[in-house]
Structure 1
Amino acid sequence: MEVDNANIVDFDRNELEKLTENVEKLIRSRADFFEGPFPVLEAMFARDGKLQLKAEEYFPVPGMYGGFNLVLMKKEEVLHSYAAALNNAPHAHPLEGDIVVVSSSWCRVAGGSGQEHVVAVNDTVLVDEGFV
């Protein structure tokens, strides 16, 4: 497998820890019965002190009949891809940090339960819903 060096970046450990906390909050909001363990983004995406962007990791949630597909991305790429949804989101703040998590989650036994969020260090914004 060829490595795309453009997607291997240095990272700020504090920023990644805040993203991890916000992903946990998102999971708790979608699956309040789940008590953990929760994903640790550094363990999932960091190798040799660098982050692998655009790599997908699936985090299943027992009892949810689904889970969360997590992708780390550069904020600037996400701002371009989700501009309309981010600009129209109620109570959304400008996203802070260099890296964000794009999370797609669903419950496979509940039609239309799919939601996609952009998770930043300061906010989590719903950008799509109703799929799956």
Structure 2
Amino acid sequence: MEVNKILKGDCIRLMKKMPSNSVDLIVTDPPYGDNVAYGHLNKTIVNNQNPLVNCQALVECYRILKKNSTLYNFTNWKHYPFLTEFIMRYTKFRIRHVIVWRKRGFGMGYAFRHQFELILVLDKLNPKYTLT
């Protein structure tokens, strides 16, 4: 597989073409399946109405990740219970940590605003972390 190449397209279709155990690290911020237009341009995301898209992608992520590697998966509080249940029941990932990303300058608006995102730290087998 070519190193340092960016692939553009449907992630599940692209991952199905990738060899098993070929990726060192995955950081993903997938659609949450809530059918909301995100960002100031009000762009829509394909398949954003389907919460199972992320689950399908996680199965492929596990396959293409090298042994002893990690995946960082962004999610929100609404989908966290569903997503963690899916991971524990239907994948071999181990949930190592949940990072809470507290956002600053989240903007004005009506009612309460989302001030954080969750990042699931998922391990394939047993990665060794070196803290420097």
Q: Which has the higher strand share?
A: 1
Larger Rg: 2
The two structures have a TM-score, normalised by structure 1, of 0.28
The two structures have a TM-score, normalised by structure 2, of 0.28
